[in-house]
């Protein structure tokens, strides 16, 4: 049945094309670290639910990447495991860049993206 039979029912609004292009920056800014997506979310979250949702998702991913980078750095300081810490740190940032680009592309196409393995620090 279509929504015309239920006049009070509203389907979730998909962001418009220009809005999706702006929202993609929330995810692409993860490439530069946590400050990019955090500033994006703080500045745009009042514009609408899509900005708040995508900003929170990007910030949560940035915090997860920061935590994983700190763990990798700690492993790098352990005796005889410095090479492993460096390898882990590089892997974390390669994965970050890949998911940031994927998040930007998916948001530009579909209006949103959900990162896998993200801790929900900001609800």
Is residue 57 in a domain?
A: yes
**Full-prediction pTM beyond 0.85?**
no
Q: Is 9 helix (H, G, I), strand (E, B) or coil?
A: coil
**More reliable by pLDDT, 32 or 1:** 32
Contacts 24+ apart (CB under 8 A), 34-37: 34/59, 34/62, 34/63, 34/65, 34/66, 36/62, 37/61, 37/62
Is residue 120 in a domain?
A: no
Is residue 123 in a domain?
A: no
CA angle, 35 then 41 then 46, to 5°: 155
Is residue 69 in a domain?
A: yes
How many folded domains does the chain comprise?
A: 1
What is the pLDDT, as a whole number, of residue 52? 93
Interatomic CA distance for residues 23 and 3, integer angstroms = 27
Is residue 8 in a domain?
A: no
Is residue 4 in a domain?
A: no
Which pLDDT tens digit goes with each residue over 31-81? 998 999 999 999 999 999 999 999 999 999 999 999 999 999 898 888 887
Domain that holds residue 51: 14-107
**Closest C-alpha among 24, 48, 49 to residue 37:** 24
């Amino acid at each position: 049945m279509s929504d015309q039979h239920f006049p009070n029912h509203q389907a979730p609004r998909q962001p418009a094309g220009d809005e999706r292009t702006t929202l993609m920056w929330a995810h692409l800014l993860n490439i530069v670290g946590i400050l990019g997506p955090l500033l994006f979310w703080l500045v745009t979250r009042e514009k609408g639910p899509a900005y708040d949702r995508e900003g929170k998702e990007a910030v949560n991913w940035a915090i997860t990447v920061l935590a994983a980078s700190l763990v990798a750095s700690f492993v790098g300081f352990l005796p005889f495991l410095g090479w492993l810490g460096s390898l882990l740190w590089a892997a974390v940032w390669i994965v970050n860049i890949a998911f940031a680009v994927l998040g930007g592309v998916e948001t530009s196409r579909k209006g949103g993206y959900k990162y896998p393995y993200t801790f929900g620090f900001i609800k």
